[in-house]
Chains A and B, each alone.
Chain A
Amino acid sequence: AQSVTQLDSQVPVFEEAPVELRCNYSSSVSVYLFWYVQYPNQGLQLLLKYLSGSTLVESINGFEAEFNKSQTSFHLRKPSVHISDTAEYFCAVSPSGGTSYGKLTFGQGTILTVHP
């Protein structure tokens, strides 16, 4: 079984400031790691994912996350946020194989609010 903990339920930040959204996970098997974003009244959208290889993964809109196996973390960062980044962010894991392949376990979500 897997579990995901997002350490902050809400993160307020000013525009152009850096931000870090924290995510820790536990699992007895190898996992894939994901960050999803949900804008108001929209479905979850994949922001970025770690499957294998380089532990630092990036999204097209400036976010990045680093997989740290020893600390079982997958924190999301952005050096300079915009108002349009205001949304709820979900960290998730899924087993990388076996019968549970593809089944996502989500964290509780972090609401990022960017103020002007």
Chain B
Amino acid sequence: GAVVSQHPSWVICKSGTSVKIECRSLDFQATTMFWYRQFPKQSLMLMATSNEGSKATYEQGVEKDKFLINHASLTLSTLTVTSAHPEDSSFYICSAILTGGRQETQYFGPGTRLLVL
């Protein structure tokens, strides 16, 4: 099956620094990727839709200037948490849709756990 990887799998950083998380589709091309966030004991919440070659679209309440998304190629999307604060500590998960495939078939990465001290 299709494989999506994320790097790093976990990261600890100081408050005020920026953190970049990569999401790669390893064996397929993905025009569309999604970024989700999961707080402890809560559900996954969609943050934004990442479209290759165009600007990301953000869900209501998600700060686009804080969570920068770049989808520069058909196999890579990056999420940069700028000036991270402790409240940004969370589990970040990406998913990718096979280009030309059906939108309802999403392949998920294993997630990145971010802890901001």
C-alpha gap A49/B106 in the complex (Å): 12
- The answer to whether the Cβ of B32 comes within 8 Å of any Cβ in the partner chain is yes
The contact size tier of chain A is: 20 to 34
Q: Which of A42, A105, A109 contacts B110 (CB 8 A)?
A: A42
C-alpha gap A42/B104 in the complex (Å): 20
Contacts of B117 in A (CB 8 A): none
Q: Which of B46, B109, B110, B111 contacts A104 (CB 8 A)?
A: B46
Contacts of B103 in A (CB 8 A): 94, 101-102
B94 and chain A: residue at smallest CB distance:
A43
Given contacts A106-B43, A108-B42, contact A49 B104 (CB under 8 A): yes
Contact, CB under 8 Å: A43 / B4: yes
Interface residues of A in 34-50 (CB under 8 A from B): 34, 36, 41-46, 49
A59 shortest CB reach to chain B, Å: 14
Contact, CB under 8 Å: A43 / B111: yes
- The answer to whether the Cβ of A25 comes within 8 Å of any Cβ in the partner chain is no
Residues of chain B touching chain A, judged by Cβ–Cβ distance below 8 Å, are: 4, 32, 34, 36, 41-46, 49, 93, 95, 97, 103-111
